[in-house]
Amino acid sequence: MDEKAMVADALVGVNGELKMFGDMIAQTEDKALKQCLRQIRNQCEMSQEKLYDAARERSYYVPAAKATQAEIEHVKSILQA
């Protein structure tokens, strides 16, 4: 497996963990557990940012083009309807 594939797999895994932590935080009523999960999620987000930066530096990941103002307004109009 080459480096590009490993970075991509790691990003997919971290993104899945971030979603999982978000779901768990929303579902728990225990404040101490909720705070612990938030701390873990924050650490996971920092790892995701480092992986993302590494992928961008090596051109393994190229983000989508930014939305135009017209596209933004179109989505806003749909959501406000």
What are the boundaries of each domain within the chain?
3-80
Residue 38 confidence (pLDDT) = 97
Residue 64 confidence (pLDDT) = 87
- Measured from the Cβ of residue 11, the count of other Cβ atoms closer than 10 Å reads 18
The ranges of the chain with pLDDT < 50 are none
Residue 81 confidence (pLDDT) = 83
Residue 63 confidence (pLDDT) = 84
Q: String of b and e for 57-81 (b: at least 16 CB within 10 Å)?
A: eeebbeeeeeeeeeeeeeeeeeeee
